Amino acid sequence: MKIAYLGPKGSFSHHVVQTAFPKEELQAFANITDVIKAYEQGLVDYSVVPVENSIEGSVRESLDYLFHQARIQAVAEIVQPIHQQLMVVPGHSKIEKIFSHPQALAQGKRFIDAHYPDAKIEVTASTAYAARFISEHPDQPYVAIAPRSSAEEYGLELIAEDIQEMEANFTRFWVLGAEIPKIPLNSQAEKMSLALTLPDNLPGALYKALSTFAWRGIDLTKIESRPLKTALGEYFFIIDIDYSDKELVHFARQELEAIGIQHKILGTYPIFTITDIEKESQ
């Protein structure tokens, strides 16, 4: 089987697919849209993309493409804890410039200010790019903030571990494909994600849409509005609902249709969580 993910090697996405699909052929793509298109074009069996981070919020490129253009659905969710490491080319001790993604830099700001107040900061497109970049410039006084898997991929040495400020930092990844894959991780309750497009009168329609779930006691674990890209104030809504009672959800969806609220299923998926034990053992 072939699995598409957001590269380069050593990224959090790479760690997720390595953990979920340890024996399959993994193919890196340069951006999220290309990862999804790889499945649509029949190049891979599954595409894995990040959809939400607990600090940054939704990954707009993933959700917008899935809503507006894709016919593919999520068949599994993988939750990855985010830990950031400070790494150098082995043996380096001179540190003048720190490379990383803006979010990792923000998360490590307190550590950097305390230990490297004079270092220059350079922004990169991803943490894994930062790690690869410093490995390609071994003669420079460079350091990267990146995941542990980046250090392994590019032969770098950790000089400080878990430098992120907030402990509760997780990213949700969706496995997009035709059927639930076999994933060697523990799974929890199933969820369903829907995108609702409401008819003209927004406030009443959203209220009615939520009513169809609320009075049946179906838990919502997320609601998020995204612009429809037509005018200010026109949105679609992404909701995540508990899918443990499939019959109740079935009737709620029928009621949505009956009152004129369109919805698209973005996915129906069990949730797998990567624990720190997997992290340590990789």
Q: How far is the CB of 38 from its own copies (least distance, A)?
A: 20
Q: Which residues contact 202 (CB under 8 A, 6 or more apart)?
A: 233, 235
Work out whether 224 is an interface residue with its own copies (CB under 8 A): yes
Contact 243, 190 (CB under 8 A): yes
Options 35-43, 50-58, 144-152, 274-282: segment touching its own copies (CB under 8 A): 50-58
Options 4-12, 40-48, 132-140, 221-229: segment touching its own copies (CB under 8 A): 221-229
Strand (E) or helix (H) holding 148: helix 148-154
Options 15-23, 110-118, 126-134, 199-207: segment touching its own copies (CB under 8 A): 199-207
Options 13-21, 145-153, 173-181, 203-211: segment touching its own copies (CB under 8 A): 203-211
Distance CA 140, CA 15 (A): 27
Work out whether 244 is an interface residue with its own copies (CB under 8 A): no
Distance CA 269, CA 74 (A): 6
Of 41 and 230, nearer to its own copies (C-beta) is 230
Work out whether 152 is an interface residue with its own copies (CB under 8 A): no
Which 3 state secondary structure label does DSSP give 171? strand
Over the Cα atoms of the chain, what is R_g?
21
Burial of 242 (0-12, 13-18, 19+ CB in 10 A): middle
* Of the residues 30, 60, 155, 186, which one makes contact with its own copies according to CB under 8 A: 60
Nearest Cα residue to 169 out of 49, 54, 14: 54
Contact 174, 267 (CB under 8 A): yes
* Of the residues 211, 244, 254, 262, which one makes contact with its own copies according to CB under 8 A: 211
Give the binding-site size for its own copies (rule: CB under 8 A): 39
For its own copies, the binding residues (CB under 8 A) are 52-57, 60, 79, 166, 168, 170, 172, 202-204, 206-207, 210-211, 213-214, 218-227, 229-235, 237
